[in-house]
Structure 1
Amino acid sequence: MFPNMVTGWERIEFRSMTIAFVVLCFSFLILLQRRKSKLPPGPKALPFLGNLHQLDSKNLVKSLKELSDKYGPVYTIYLGSRPNVVLYGYKAVKEALVEQAENFSGRGEFPAVHRFTQGNGIAFSNGEKWKNLRRFALVTLRNFGMGKRSIEERIQEEAQFMLEEFRNTKQKTFDPTFFLSRAVSNVICSIVFGHRFDYEDKRFLSLLELINDNFLVISSAWGRFYNIFPGIMNYLPGTHNRIFTNFEKIKTFVLENVRDHEKTFQPECPRDFIDCFLIKMQKENGNPMSSFNIETLVMTTHNLFFGGTETVSTTLRYGLLILMKYPDITEKAQQEIDKVIGRNRCPTVEDRSKMPYTDAVIHEIQRFTSIIPLSLPHSVIRDTQFRGHHLPKGTNVIPVLSSVHNDPEKFKQPQIFNPDNFLDENNRFKNNDAFMPFSTGKRICLGEGLARMELFLFFTTFLQNFNFKPTVHPDEIDLSPSISGVGNVPASYQLIAVPR
């Protein structure tokens, strides 16, 4: 009756042809991009999805290892339509981040965080803004005692508060997560905000929950999918949306603290990091190109607050789990603590040089856990030649730090927890240039010195005063991360703190 009407079958056929044409075009574009840029070889990518079908959503590090076994230490994967050059193993990571440090100094795309930071703050900025903010932060933190005795005393004080919290558990089981994050966070809070918070402060506890939740969500499959498909995920319901509501609540807290500082600060007598930033803003007032404004202040403070809380507290939490699994190692460290420090004074940073075994145990905890297994994404800031390949400016780079820590050429039996990795034949502490828990090169964590001091003082203080008992037999303790993405997160557990 209607000769020009398209039948249902014809519509289906037309739709199928359209899809096939789009698939063909996408595949051709990927092939063209690879040929034009001469990126390292890698697995074939699917249209739209890229190489997602070859990546384990629960254990991305394992998938990257399997691809490295096939394609070598430098290869390309597509996360969606975006190419990422993966660096696997000590030699590849060192060659890029150390030997070509400047070329690989860019911050790669990280949509889940960029939506919030908009390229402000230290961790996720680039170019001159990043250089200016990082230089300022390093000088300011150093002036406020990072690596000096004043910070050491703050950590010692916080460790004593923690001991009291452990005693108050009365040898009952408890989850150490927020016990540890409160102490660690208070150290960075005293530097950034000028004061610590009471452990029962409900707003402080709420902020720690937000930080912990964001670390979990960003490391989960929801966070990974957002980073790959931000345009689509912005319109979809799901757990990933908590990232942004959490960030906004933390931002509000930081901004309120900044406003309070503005009302009371005296330029001639800065009290903390925020005051110093406000002084810098005053000096550069009127300069339209200045990197110092209220937005970069809030985001830089947020970066320090977030980064200075979660990674160290997660390392402590993972470390206690490891120490409970290996009581012989724990006992040996405690014997050294008793010999060098005793039980009647607080540990000091000076003690570390006299305690090679304890120092080796702490380094091995960091190596074994690789809390940030993939580093944060890097990018090349200019067209770069690397191992015979051409990486165009802006190419995303994924340095797999856990692969450095598990490189069999640098560590014997790397899958086994063994403090001997950091001891020489005379049982003296031995550095290893494949130790990169804070990354390496231009983007190395600016809080490395503070974190190393915290880990030593907290671990030694805890072991000096308590034995930590698991709720299961040590052989049953599983050290596998419950989530392995942006972060390696240990499974939830409970323990018993028994005074020594």
Structure 2
Amino acid sequence: MVALSTALLVLALTLLAVQYLKLQWSRGRFPPGPTPLPLIGNMWTLRFELRHDKLMQLAKTYGNIFTVWLGHTPLIMLNGCQTVRDGLISHSEELSGRPATAAFEEVSKGKGVVFSTGHNWKQQRRFGLMTMRNLGLGKKSLEGRIQEEAQTLIEFYASIKGKPTDPSPSIVHSVANVISAVVFGHRFSSEDKEFHQLVEASDFLVTFLGTMWARIFDIAPWLMRHLPGPQQDMFKYNTFLETFVKMEIKRHQENGIPEEPQDMIDFYLTKISKVSDDPTSAYDEENMIRLVTDFFGAGTETTTTTLRWALLHMVTQPAMQENVQKELDAVLGESQIIQYEDRKRLPYTNAVIHEVQRYSNIISTGVFRQVVKETSLQGFRLQKGTMVLPNLSSCLFDPHYWETPHQFNPGHFLDKEGNFVTNEAFLPFSAGHRVCLGEQLARVELFIFFTSLLRAFTFRLPEGVKEVNMEPIFGATLQPHRYKICANAR
């Protein structure tokens, strides 16, 4: 028995040694980086999280293009504005793929637009852009929906008359109803239990995919399927989302598709019927389900989280809040309906919104890319199939582009005369072929919701609360800790 145990131990150590040597040999084909260990690569050093701050620290040692290993899989990191822009914009086509990681595949099965790649992705993206335009993106119709939801949010805060409240549930409800109108064709009541389950499921999946549990699942999916942990909730919530969307599709089919489609499901069902004889078509029910969940999840989580950060900055910096309100009062008055076009007359307010997106960037490192065609990037050869990850936060904190990168400073977006100015390092929505499909919608929502709330209320911390936790909760998005505020009518 002792001899058998010894033999097994020697065998295990030998296999680990061989694996270690293979990793060291493989490293020579990739940009430099920390030494990987067998089985776990660099994930132990990174604590199984791809945190933007840790990655920026590694860039100081290994340069703006370096390699970290997720188990046995190399991941090329892009750091700093110039490098990220070079990868995402100058080499946009070559880096347009999406790797089939275990977690991505479990959630999407390679369908939809966020986690798909190749021909399927191109067709779903083209359809998504066309549908958003047809449903009013950039037009008064969709902007009117946002204004209505902003008014509903104002009415809610008015009803609680300055009592301390967690702003998250009310913001989620209003923002989710904007994208619900786009994909489902209707809004939900705040009392609808199924709607709350929908938001909860979507929020969990968006968050989970950026956690260490997703990275562990990527390394050993066969094992994690049989162990307890949050990955089991991933299976449950993903099934719920698919079932919910299938029910919505069934309702649309039973009601019949109108001559003028009213939402994304209408448009998709119409598209399927038109291309049924096209063998190259990637339009089917599985893609429709995933496209709808992609739009709902991304369209709810990103805007909601940014607005939560925006209010948090306003209550912790009351002088800045007052300056925004003074500009709103001077330019808009009390009765005028706020429109996205008004941002051009509100440079300070627009700068504050942009600074929230920069300083409290919610996406952190973006989403994994994959090289679809061998290319060269700043002297390094990137082989087809290699995973790449742009550290978007490294652009938003790049000291070469921002005067005070680690301070909340709206002056980053204002010139000496107080006019709003842009900055090429401002990439919260990513860039290139994989830029966020909902960027324009998010911009309109952020502006109208934020200005509507600040014109109607002054937000304060509850009595006795002197400070709040400004450190983000790490996940696929960087969320603020839950907090309470008081909305006092102006």
Q: Same fold (TM over 0.5)?
A: yes
* Number of aligned residue pairs: 490
- 1:105-131 residue CA offsets vs partner (Å, 9 max, x unmatched): 111344323212110001111111111
Note closer, same or farther for the CA distance 1:59–1:86 as it changes in structure 2 (3 Å cut).
Answer: closer
Output the amino acid matched with 2:32.
Answer: P
Aligned to 1:161: 152
CA distance in 2, matches of 1:389, 1:135: 32
CA distance in 2, matches of 1:473, 1:56: 37
Equivalent of residue 485 in structure 2, options 466, 489, 495: 495
Aligned to 2:422: 431
Whether contact under 8 Å (2:208, 2:475) holds in the other structure is no
Note closer, same or farther for the CA distance 1:487–1:131 as it changes in structure 2 (3 Å cut).
Answer: same
Residue 22 (1) aligns with residue 12 (2) = no
Residue 455 (1) aligns with residue 440 (2) = no
Equivalent of residue 386 in structure 2, options 386, 395, 407: 395
Equivalent of residue 134 in structure 1, options 99, 116, 125: 125
Whether contact under 8 Å (1:61, 1:485) holds in the other structure is no
Whether contact under 8 Å (1:87, 1:398) holds in the other structure is yes
CA distance in 1, matches of 2:9, 2:48: 29
Aligned to 1:73: 64
Output the amino acid matched with 1:47.
Answer: P
Aligned to 2:329: 338
Alpha-carbon shift at residue 135 of structure 1 (Å): 0.8
Residue aligned with 1:398, SS = strand
Q: Percent identity?
A: 38
Residue 410 (1) aligns with residue 408 (2) = no
Alpha-carbon shift at residue 472 of structure 1 (Å): 6.7
CA distance in 2, matches of 1:71, 1:473: 47
Whether contact under 8 Å (1:315, 1:366) holds in the other structure is yes
Residue aligned with 1:476, SS = coil
CA RMSD of aligned residues (A): 1.6
Note closer, same or farther for the CA distance 1:245–1:467 as it changes in structure 2 (3 Å cut).
Answer: same
Residue aligned with 2:75, SS = strand
CA distance in 1, matches of 2:157, 2:50: 33
Whether contact under 8 Å (2:348, 2:420) holds in the other structure is yes
Output the amino acid matched with 2:212.
Answer: A
Aligned to 1:317: 308
- 1:379-409 residue CA offsets vs partner (Å, 9 max, x unmatched): 1101222222222211111101111100000
Residue aligned with 1:498, SS = strand
Runs of at least 5 residues in structure 2 that lack an aligned partner in the other structure: none
Whether contact under 8 Å (2:32, 2:67) holds in the other structure is yes
CA distance in 1, matches of 2:119, 2:49: 37
Output the amino acid matched with 2:482.
Answer: S
Equivalent of residue 43 in structure 1, options 34, 46, 50: 34
Equivalent of residue 119 in structure 1, options 74, 94, 110: 110
Output the amino acid matched with 1:136.
Answer: F
Alpha-carbon shift at residue 232 of structure 1 (Å): 2.3
CA distance in 2, matches of 1:440, 1:59: 20
Task: Give TM-score scaled by structure 1 length.
Answer: 0.95
Aligned to 2:91: 100
Runs of at least 5 residues in structure 1 that lack an aligned partner in the other structure: 1-6
CA distance in 2, matches of 1:135, 1:314: 27
Aligned to 1:3: none
Alpha-carbon shift at residue 68 of structure 1 (Å): 1.0
Task: Give TM-score scaled by structure 2 length.
Answer: 0.97
Aligned to 1:380: 371
Whether contact under 8 Å (2:100, 2:110) holds in the other structure is no
CA distance in 1, matches of 2:51, 2:344: 37
Note closer, same or farther for the CA distance 1:256–1:211 as it changes in structure 2 (3 Å cut).
Answer: same
CA distance in 1, matches of 2:361, 2:252: 37
Whether contact under 8 Å (1:188, 1:304) holds in the other structure is yes
Map 1:82-481 onto structure 2 (within 5 A).
82-266=73-257, 268-471=259-462, 476-481=467-472
CA distance in 2, matches of 1:401, 1:188: 25
Residue aligned with 2:230, SS = coil
Aligned to 2:5: 12
Note closer, same or farther for the CA distance 1:441–1:365 as it changes in structure 2 (3 Å cut).
Answer: same
Whether contact under 8 Å (2:51, 2:364) holds in the other structure is no
Whether contact under 8 Å (1:480, 1:490) holds in the other structure is yes
